[in-house]
Structure 1
Amino acid sequence: MYDYVIVGAGSAGCVLAARLSEDPSVSVCLVEAGPADKSPNIQVPAAFGKLLRTNLDWDYSTHEEPQLNRRRIYLPRGRVLGGTSSINTMIYVRGNPQDFDGWGQPGWSYADLLPYFIKSEDNERGASAHHGVGGPLAVSDNRARNAMSTAFIDAAVEAGHPANDDFNGDSQDGFGYFQLTQRDGSRASTATAYLHPALSRPNLTVETNLHVHRVLVENGRATGVVGERLDEQVTIRAEREVILSGGAYNSPQLLMLSGIGPAPLLSALGVPVVVDSPQVGQNLQDHALIPLIYAHEHPISMLAAATPENFELYANERTGPLTSNGPEAGGFVRTRADLAAPDVEFLCAPVMFADSGLGTPTHHALSYGPSMLSPISRGSVSLASDAPTAKPKIVHNYFAEEPDLDNAVAALRIALDIARQDALAPYTATPFLVPDSDSDADLRDFARLYTHSIFHPSSTCAMGEVVDAELRVMGVDGLRVVDASVMPKVVRGNPNAAVIAVAEKAADLIADALPQRVETAA
């Protein structure tokens, strides 16, 4: 029996476990389906690609995407302490202030969340109106700075875009290097930043390799979870609250397995309906990336990073190519002048980033492309089976709405314009994966053929639809969701930073609620 049971030790769950266990009078149990974050490939930034499709990855895919020539799109998710913050590319971009204001939820404006961004942060540049120091999460400048990344920034400026050295500052528009969740050249996941320093607390228990199958709901209240470890059923009771932090795919799946979701679907699968909540798993949003790849003969890409000299440089000084996060540089642009905020994020990596990162680089190459930040199209997460270990059915419906494809065409034109600039000429002489021309037809075909996820799912348990403004699941007492799924709309940026801020605020909401202890069934 614990006061709080948190399901999912990812970007939100580690924050919640650390913050809630600061109160020695409460007991907290954090449950993770995967193992501890002991793999050395987690800590070495450039090795993140070696984590994909391993035991540390849920290794999801969409079902056939109707507008992407019925391709199935790879969707990695961290299955390890730290969750996806242990396998991502470490980019620290919070989103645009208009994102949070646009949620329209009381207490969730940008002004409400900025103190939590600052509270979480330990930025090596120091404190300012936008940044904090002394928080758990290390935020650092990029130490790798490949010559191709610099050339990409220079080319974007040549093309008429502004330079920007802080995408979390006064303006998001422009191009520059990303700040990263790293400390001294190593990954700073929420496990290393929040959870590890709290592990010695006697009121915090961490259960790894335990896959939760459902939430126990008794008399309208969540009273614990049931899961499995090595074929053994495990029940963990919660006296105050169960908190789901499984992410935009796993949290709605777990709600549905627990009988909370669209009644017709649950009934058809033989899942007893506890609460008919039609929007569970709906409203799925993601950022679609359309990659361009240019090969060249300059031996400076990440293909040349794994040398004894670079390993020694990393081991002794925590510098060099092995500190690269992959997409080192990028920028934010608007496809139309009348937009109130950027709708495209460019990501540039000094490597051949093929097949959603699953392909083996064969040439020195530069990869970059637009990530579409403000999709109109909506997808869904649903149950494919009542079996708890069956993967959910995920359909993102990329480009289902015609304006999304029109915006992708405009973004590709901006990408091709950057490629024509003098600064990139040494690296763009040999097109490897680019559109046949800049005609509408060729750009649309290219987008349908090569678009993939950049791994930013959100909004499947949205505030105002599935949870209230305090993240409580509507229709069930003692149950909350705290992760990217509660965002009504995906942020214009890399969601990890926003998820951490959401969890920081949620920890305060939970602590301030001070619920009375309740008697649960034996």
Structure 2
Amino acid sequence: MYDYVIVGAGTAGSVLAARLSEDPGITVCVVEAGPVDDAQNIHIPAAFGTLFRSRVDWDYDSHEEPMLHRRRIYLPRGKTLGGSSSINAGLYLRGNPADFDLWGQPGWTFDELLPYFKRSEDNERGESKYHGVGGPMSVSDGRSNNVMGTAFVDAALEAGHSFNADFNDGANQDGFGPFQMMQRDGRRWSSADAYLRPALSRPNVTLETNLQIHRIVIENGRAVGVTGYRLDEQITLRANREVILSSGSYNTPFLLMHSGIGPAKVLSDVDIPVLLDHPDVGQNLKDQPIVPMVYPHDVPVSTLIGHEPQYVKEFLEHGTGPLTSNGPESGGYLRTRSGLDAPDVVFYNGPLMFADSGLGLPTGHGITFGPVVLMAESTGDVSLDSDDPTTKPKIVHNYFTNEDDLRSAVGGVQAGMEIARQKSLRPYTGTMLRGPASDSDKDVLEYVRLHAHSIFHATSTCMIGKVVDAELRVKGIDGLRVVDASIMPRTGRGAPNATVLAIGEKAADLILGRPAPRPLVAAAAKE
């Protein structure tokens, strides 16, 4: 018996384990389906692609996507301590302040969330109105300093775009510049590094790994525990206060549905008894598709050189060099058409050939950049094909079923082609790999359908205001909360991991009944 059982040791689960266990009178059990995060490549930023489809990846795919020539889209999710923060590119991008104000939920405006962003952060640039120091999550400038990262930004400026030194300053996202990332001394700094591992030294924290939860135990309308399997051994963990689901936008609704909580038709179709007809569970699925533009070249400056002995030595001794590259070292936000209130695409630029959703081995040196559609309106769902909880969820994103999403993608590719023609990038952008026949709308549209894929930012399947209330409690079931990216109403204009840090920090206050901190921006304005 524990006070709190947290299902998932990813970003939100790690934050909650650390913050709840600060009270020595509270017992916490964190359950992770995967192994500990001891794989060497987890801690080498440039090696994140080697983790795809490994034992630390749930290795999901969408079902056939109707607007992408019925292609199935690869959807990696972290299955280890730190969750996806242990296998992703590690970008620290909060999103636009307007994104949070659109949530329409009490306590969740940008001004109200900013103290939690700052609480989580240890930014090497120092403290400011929008940034914190001394928090668990190390936020750093890049240490790779690849020449192609600088060349891409220079080319964007040559194409008429502005420079932006800080995409997280809360004032202006538009423009191009270097990204900050979640690293410390050039190595990945996951949520497990930042929050979970320090908490595990406390006697009131228990960690269970390689234990896949199959069902929430619900008695008399209250969640009282979870049950699952480690190999062939069934294990049940009881929660005296709450069960907290922090399993992500695919696995959290999957677990709810296998516990009888979800759309009645979905459950009935696979013969799962309906405990609570909750029509929005698994619905409203959002993501950010990217259209990669890959340019092979012969200049020996890509991350392929990271295997050379001098660069391995540089990484081990100094925490600098190509092995510290997180992939998208630089990029920028733009608006593909007039009349938009905020950017509709962000460019990620990396010094490598990132082909086939990151599953293809680079065949040589290259550069990859491309537009990510930010506030995509296309909506999918997570559902079930079986009553067997060891199967995978049925995921359909319905990418580009919304016409405006297509317009943003096409306009983004055309803007990228214009940037590629600029003087600073010419040494690296001779001929695009499998590029469109021209920059016409028709040819670029076909290129989008052939090459767009997920940038792995799924949200919204247990949406706040629908599945959970403003305190993240599952409506209709006592003692059950959801704390992860699935509660976000929209993916927003950032990379969700930074937002999930703030969600976890705020959720801890909600669970413990602590007063919310004073909104920082509003307070500063009054002063």
TM-score class, shorter-chain normalisation, is over 0.9
Structure 1, gaps ≥5 residues long: 515-522
Alignment of 1:451-462 (within 5 A): 451-462=452-463
Q: Deviations over 1:102-152 (max 9, x none)?
A: 010110000010000000000001000010000000000000011111100
User: Structure 2 CA distance, aligned partners of 1:35 and 1:341?
Assistant: 41
Match of 2:11, SS state, is coil
What is residue 400 of structure 1 aligned with on the other side?
401
Match of 2:387, SS state, is coil
Cα offset, 1:429, TM superposition: 1.4
What is residue 446 of structure 2 aligned with on the other side?
445
Alignment of 1:61-80 (within 5 A): 61-80=61-80
Match of 1:377, SS state, is coil
User: Structure 2 CA distance, aligned partners of 1:160 and 1:311?
Assistant: 38
User: Structure 2 CA distance, aligned partners of 1:264 and 1:291?
Assistant: 37
What is residue 53 of structure 1 aligned with on the other side?
53
Cα offset, 1:408, TM superposition: 1.1
Contact 1:345 1:372 in 2 (8 A): yes
What is residue 306 of structure 1 aligned with on the other side?
307
What is residue 384 of structure 1 aligned with on the other side?
385
2:192 maps to 1:201: no
Q: Deviations over 1:435-472 (max 9, x none)?
A: 11011110110000000000000000001110000000
Match of 1:171, SS state, is coil
Q: Which amino acid aligns with 1:352?
A: M
What's the TM-score, normalizing by structure 2? Answer: 0.97
Match of 2:427, SS state, is helix
Alignment of 1:269-308 (within 5 A): 269-308=270-309
Match of 1:427, SS state, is coil
What is residue 524 of structure 2 aligned with on the other side?
none
User: Structure 1 CA distance, aligned partners of 2:307 and 2:338?
Assistant: 43
2:10 maps to 1:6: no
Q: Deviations over 1:144-163 (max 9, x none)?
A: 01111110000001111111
What is residue 176 of structure 1 aligned with on the other side?
177
What is residue 128 of structure 1 aligned with on the other side?
128
User: Structure 2 CA distance, aligned partners of 1:319 and 1:219?
Assistant: 56
User: Structure 2 CA distance, aligned partners of 1:431 and 1:223?
Assistant: 55
Match of 1:241, SS state, is strand
Q: Deviations over 1:212-271 (max 9, x none)?
A: 001011000000000100110000000100000000000000000000000111122111
User: Structure 2 CA distance, aligned partners of 1:204 and 1:403?
Assistant: 47
What is residue 89 of structure 2 aligned with on the other side?
89
User: Structure 1 CA distance, aligned partners of 2:315 and 2:53?
Assistant: 25
What is residue 238 of structure 2 aligned with on the other side?
237
User: Structure 2 CA distance, aligned partners of 1:341 and 1:429?
Assistant: 32
Cα offset, 1:202, TM superposition: 0.7
Cα offset, 1:420, TM superposition: 1.0
Contact 2:49 2:359 in 1 (8 A): yes
What is residue 486 of structure 2 aligned with on the other side?
485
What's the TM-score, normalizing by structure 1? Answer: 0.98
Q: Deviations over 1:294-334 (max 9, x none)?
A: 11110111122211111100111111100000111110111
Contact 2:305 2:311 in 1 (8 A): no
User: Structure 2 CA distance, aligned partners of 1:171 and 1:56?
Assistant: 36
2:266 maps to 1:265: yes
User: Structure 2 CA distance, aligned partners of 1:69 and 1:337?
Assistant: 30
Contact 1:210 1:229 in 2 (8 A): yes
Check 1:251–1:301 CA distance in 2 against 1; reply closer, same or farther (3 A cut). same
Q: Deviations over 1:317-367 (max 9, x none)?
A: 111100000111110111122111111010001100000000010121110
What is residue 525 of structure 2 aligned with on the other side?
none
Cα offset, 1:10, TM superposition: 0.3
User: Structure 2 CA distance, aligned partners of 1:513 and 1:418?
Assistant: 49
User: Structure 1 CA distance, aligned partners of 2:367 and 2:434?
Assistant: 10
What is residue 34 of structure 2 aligned with on the other side?
34
Question: How big is the alpha-carbon RMSD for the aligned residues of Structure 1 and Structure 2?
Answer: 0.9
Deviates more, 1:412-421 or 1:51-60: 412-421
User: Structure 2 CA distance, aligned partners of 1:396 and 1:145?
Assistant: 35
2:424 maps to 1:433: no
Structure 2, gaps ≥5 residues long: 516-527
User: Structure 2 CA distance, aligned partners of 1:511 and 1:59?
Assistant: 35
User: Structure 2 CA distance, aligned partners of 1:29 and 1:75?
Assistant: 28
Match of 1:237, SS state, is strand
Match of 1:381, SS state, is strand
Aligned residues: 514
User: Structure 1 CA distance, aligned partners of 2:51 and 2:266?
Assistant: 34
Match of 2:181, SS state, is coil
Q: Deviations over 1:486-514 (max 9, x none)?
A: 00111111110001100100010001189
User: Structure 2 CA distance, aligned partners of 1:370 and 1:4?
Assistant: 41
Alignment of 1:118-197 (within 5 A): 118-169=118-169, 170-197=171-198
What is residue 522 of structure 2 aligned with on the other side?
none
User: Structure 2 CA distance, aligned partners of 1:429 and 1:82?
Assistant: 39
What is residue 496 of structure 2 aligned with on the other side?
495
User: Structure 2 CA distance, aligned partners of 1:401 and 1:122?
Assistant: 39
What is residue 520 of structure 2 aligned with on the other side?
none
Runs of 4+ with >4 A deviation: none
User: Structure 1 CA distance, aligned partners of 2:113 and 2:225?
Assistant: 30
Contact 1:294 1:433 in 2 (8 A): no
What is residue 425 of structure 2 aligned with on the other side?
424
Match of 2:254, SS state, is helix
Q: Which amino acid aligns with 2:249?
A: A
Q: Which amino acid aligns with 1:109?
A: T
